[in-house]
Structure 1
């Protein structure tokens, strides 16, 4: 199965133009797509509903959307009727197979005094694969605070670890027909893949929280309940392969860095076949990443 993750920057490409058709062409037809920076009703992108636009451009896919930011954008018309709109910013998950259940987890957020900080989320979907059910996460960590990202990394790991014990959208064997035609609770498997823009480099301390610290003598000291970096495990290329060219900010110059990752639970790591970064993509300031798993 082929998985893709792409921070689409609201559709704004390297030429500063919004072009969703270009993004769709760059993604192609993988089995599962994880998107970040998908927004609804923001002025800079024409007050458009990007979730609906993208869903229409991928008509053969099931999809769910999980906003981190969710604020009022309603219009009260002259007759007093409310035209309902929510200004949202978040993650999207699309799958050729049905998304059996979904949860949108809110990640920790620090209340910063001056730096602009957005609420971030972790969108979870359970899909069936030829090897059985799999949890897929699309996420986007904080862009400005290393400590905030560390808290988000620890929360992500906790969500993955606790999921099987908590059960899915409901648990128990006595659900009525009001909830299910089959009587079965949605599965909540242990195996998981987490894809997205983590806003951290492989040299950052937050990276070690996710995959374990590096030791000169013994290499990566991953624990059984850590995650595995699919790029590193598959030996697909330069460990610091850039996936984004960031604009200059404050005292930080323009830099090309690896910010986008695919992490898997250790039991899924042996099924990684390959990973690829499309360095030619022009649809965003990020490049899409692709992972193939033997499922």
Structure 2
């Protein structure tokens, strides 16, 4: 199963042009099964007041999709009184999205520096082999480790409790005729893939909290019930590679027990549709 994450910077490329068709082309050439996008927006003047989720979906036919607005503000006008100005994350999947949730992550309210609400968008999908899996598109704070660490803790808590919470609905109902149990019970699997722009590097406290501490004698201590960096599981050194400038801050993490199923990981260094580069990972599920 092929995963791709890409912070598209609302379609703004290195050449200063807004070009969602270029973004879609850079994604589709990798033929991903699941795509996690960050910095996708609706009705902002800077990007032409366009509905980017709808446009990207039209440019990528054959994918199911969900959008999670982390910034959601009134932008109505005479023709569209209920229009919303939004900024957030998106997941596209070749297989149907069985259920979805959007989790706001802790936000540090600054007095003068620009601080925005960030989140983790969840989608439950099936792999080509029929295995359900939780997939997340994530964007963390750009400000400082102190603003990201609470967000990392929230991610770990979401991951820890998801299976116990069950699907979007679970259990029975005393009156089946009431319609609450329509359709099949949506699954909530233990296995998860977290991808996105995490805004931290491998030498940070945030990275260590997410995948385990680095020790002088024993290397990186990964918890068997935690998350792993798929880039490393695919055979790369954790300090190798760059996804934004000269830093690797865009990641695909997955449940630790999937480590031996990670087949490949690459960064598309040829992409120019954003200030970030797509990260592609294949997992044998």
Q: TM-score range by the shorter chain?
A: over 0.9
Question: Aligned to 2:47, which of 20, 37, 45?
Answer: 45
* 2:227 is equivalent to residue 227 of structure 1: yes
Paired with 1:240 and 1:144, the residues of 2 have a C-alpha distance of 23
Unaligned residue ranges in structure 1 (runs of 5+) = 246-255
| Cα gap change, 1:176 to 1:41, in 2 (>3 Å) | farther
Unaligned residue ranges in structure 2 (runs of 5+) = none
Conserved? CA contact 2:202–2:238, under 8 Å:
no
Paired with 1:131 and 1:56, the residues of 2 have a C-alpha distance of 26
Conserved? CA contact 2:23–2:273, under 8 Å:
yes
Deviations 1:48-98 (A, max 9, x none): 110111111112010000011111101135xxxx53211111000000000
Conserved? CA contact 1:41–1:88, under 8 Å:
yes
Aligned to 2:250: 260
Deviations 1:121-164 (A, max 9, x none): 10000001215100000000001121111110010010011001
Of residues 63-72 and 22-31 in structure 1, the stretch that sits farther from structure 2 once superposed is 22-31
- Listed as ranges, the matches of 1:284-295 within 5 Å are 284-295=274-285
| Cα gap change, 1:116 to 1:176, in 2 (>3 Å) | farther
Q: What SS does the corresponding residue of 1:83 show, helix, strand or coil?
A: coil
Paired with 1:287 and 1:164, the residues of 2 have a C-alpha distance of 32
Aligned to 1:31: 33
- Listed as ranges, the matches of 1:86-165 within 5 Å are 86-129=84-127, 130-165=129-164
Paired with 2:181 and 2:107, the residues of 1 have a C-alpha distance of 35
TM-score normalised by structure 1 residue count: 0.91
Offset, 1:238: 6.2
Deviations 1:214-234 (A, max 9, x none): 001111112233210000111
Conserved? CA contact 2:172–2:181, under 8 Å:
no
Conserved? CA contact 1:105–1:122, under 8 Å:
yes
Deviations 1:238-285 (A, max 9, x none): 62411002xxxxxxxxxx211100000112222100001000100000
Paired with 1:277 and 1:94, the residues of 2 have a C-alpha distance of 19
Paired with 1:264 and 1:196, the residues of 2 have a C-alpha distance of 12
* 2:111 is equivalent to residue 83 of structure 1: no
Q: What SS does the corresponding residue of 2:142 show, helix, strand or coil?
A: coil
| Cα gap change, 1:88 to 1:176, in 2 (>3 Å) | farther
Paired with 2:36 and 2:97, the residues of 1 have a C-alpha distance of 13
Aligned to 1:73: 75
Root-mean-square deviation (CA, aligned residues, Å) is 1.4
- Listed as ranges, the matches of 1:195-214 within 5 Å are 195-214=195-214
TM-score normalised by structure 2 residue count: 0.94
Deviations 1:175-206 (A, max 9, x none): 84624444x32100000000000000111111
Aligned to 1:7: 7
Offset, 1:290: 0.4
Question: Aligned to 1:275, which of 231, 252, 265?
Answer: 265
| Cα gap change, 1:257 to 1:265, in 2 (>3 Å) | same
Q: What SS does the corresponding residue of 1:76 show, helix, strand or coil?
A: coil
